[in-house]
Structure 1
């Protein structure tokens, strides 16, 4: 008599954030989808879907759970990203929360790894082989989709991803085994964006890098590093000096900052797909006439 199969949530393997895509043929490159990391488990207890931290969200992802019943295997653990797409067909993180509660039938699970299948633990297999088995398991045309590898070198894929307005890419060593936790065997490379925002404050503490504090249409966005050469930096401080003395904006009293009167703007480079500025740098600044 067959022993019942009971599978448990596995803590995810996570890519390290790096600046540049890796070089060489031993890497595979995928789109970095902007959604919620999800683990899909099927065993003799049925289908379950877990968040990145292991919380059971099967009830929230009901249409995906129902579709997963149709996958032709009696037990598996699939890793993927739960997403919803916008009109342009791109994953839209900001629309995801409301889609989960209001229109779960619009959700997609983009599957990128297979950790367990039909009683076999696959984590010691090479990524390339795990993904081959996964691709064969997932039929085309459904809301559970296979995350295709993108053809080309890391640099070329990164350029195309950013041109297409994607959040970035994930590069994985083809021979990598699956180990929970963050690893350099997998790397994520995010795309950057640039935008004009208001400079509402500055932070200048001895021994720390100088930062300007930015707002976009009145909403506080966070800080951007000032990396100008000495003469341009001095020009910025001269303009700042004439505007110091504004009261702290609501909710920002704790920030150790000099707050500025309105009228100074700057162009900021920052990581795409983030609620607040991350890895941000001030590229230029000017006084609004």
Structure 2
């Protein structure tokens, strides 16, 4: 199931809420001791998750399909997508599988079963798995806004709300909602690049270095001011060291107000919402 993105968490007591983990959506397939791990797009990543696959052999089931997220946690327990990509290459022992749904168990198709029933069976299975590579994604049964405020205060990516009694099916769903935590910062515009379709993005930095790119979402006059600055302040090299991109680099002097998703050390899902140009 793919949750629908919403701006506010759902109200009422008809929902279970979970932390939205920042990782790779993964299904573990268990078949008579053989374990396979598949991405959301159906790619076999079994070899990328050796420690998780080994731990999954401890799940007490002949056959099962477990839905979850592969992540890496930082010292504070927050999932870190940048660290995840590094761990896939060099430190697979750092990977953790957060299990949140059970689709099949020993010949029984659980997808038509209510969410609470699937979760109860999953909780029993995961409780018997030794070690800490496979853990249950806990749920919160209570006020969605209160849970979101807690998630936001801890700098997490967001939350997923699942309708009580709902069944599981493939594809987009109105039974699962995701609410993301956003923040806004003022960053220096150091360049502009275009993607393969020609859409322009601002390249941004702060005092610690390059932070990433952001879609330029500006109204008419601000957008024209942005491009006037780009046309008149282009330089040959990147203004900070270590950024190797095919881009138009800019002299210092323009800052941008940027909205982006919390979590990680680089910008994600970022948009430029305002600019300010220093007077010469």
For the aligned pair, the TM-score class normalised by the smaller chain equals 0.7 to 0.9
Q: Which runs of 5+ in 2 are unaligned?
A: 193-199, 239-244
- Which of 252, 256, 280 pairs up with 2:271? 280
Q: Which runs of 5+ in 1 are unaligned?
A: 1-12, 203-210, 254-258
Identify the residue that residue 245 of structure 1 maps to in structure 2. 232
* Cα shift at 1:177: 0.9
Confirm or deny that 1:171 pairs with 2:177.
Answer: no
Identify the residue that residue 144 of structure 1 maps to in structure 2. 134
* Cα shift at 1:128: 1.4
Identify the residue that residue 92 of structure 2 maps to in structure 1. 104
Aligned residues between the structures: 260
Moved more, 193-202 or 121-130: 193-202
Instruction: For residue 152 of structure 1, give the secondary structure of its aligned residue in structure 2.
Output: coil
Q: What's the CA shift string for 1:154-178, capped at 9, x where partnerless?
A: 1111111111010111111112211
* Cα shift at 1:45: 6.2
Counterpart CA distance in 2 for 1:67 and 1:96 is 18
Point out the structure with max Rg over C-alpha: 1
Counterpart CA distance in 1 for 2:90 and 2:201 is 39
Pairing of 1:50-89 with structure 2 (within 5 A): 50-89=38-77
Instruction: For residue 59 of structure 1, give the secondary structure of its aligned residue in structure 2.
Output: helix
Instruction: For residue 61 of structure 2, give the secondary structure of its aligned residue in structure 1.
Output: coil
Identify the residue that residue 263 of structure 1 maps to in structure 2. 253
TM-score, structure 1 normalization: 0.78
Pairing of 1:1-289 with structure 2 (within 5 A): 13-44=1-32, 46-139=34-127, 142-199=132-189, 213-216=202-205, 217=209, 221-226=213-218, 244-247=231-234, 251-252=246-247, 261-273=251-263, 276=267, 278=269, 280-282=271-273, 285=276, 287=278
Moved more, 263-272 or 169-178: 263-272
Counterpart CA distance in 1 for 2:56 and 2:279 is 56
Instruction: For residue 149 of structure 1, give the secondary structure of its aligned residue in structure 2.
Output: coil
Counterpart CA distance in 2 for 1:152 and 1:226 is 38
Counterpart CA distance in 1 for 2:276 and 2:160 is 33
Q: What's the CA shift string for 1:64-94, capped at 9, x where partnerless?
A: 1111111111111000101111111111110
Q: What's the CA shift string for 1:160-217, capped at 9, x where partnerless?
A: 1111010111111112211111112111111102222124579xxxxxxxx9835224
Q: Contact between 2:261 and 2:267, CA under 8 Å: does it hold in 1?
A: no
Q: Contact between 2:13 and 2:141, CA under 8 Å: does it hold in 1?
A: no
TM-score, structure 2 normalization: 0.81
Counterpart CA distance in 2 for 1:224 and 1:94 is 23
Q: Contact between 2:258 and 2:270, CA under 8 Å: does it hold in 1?
A: no
Instruction: For residue 105 of structure 1, give the secondary structure of its aligned residue in structure 2.
Output: helix
Identify the residue that residue 7 of structure 1 maps to in structure 2. none
- Relative to structure 1, is the Cα distance of residues 101 and 220 closer, same or farther in structure 2, using a 3 angstrom cutoff? closer
Q: Contact between 1:214 and 1:224, CA under 8 Å: does it hold in 2?
A: no
* Cα shift at 1:245: 1.7
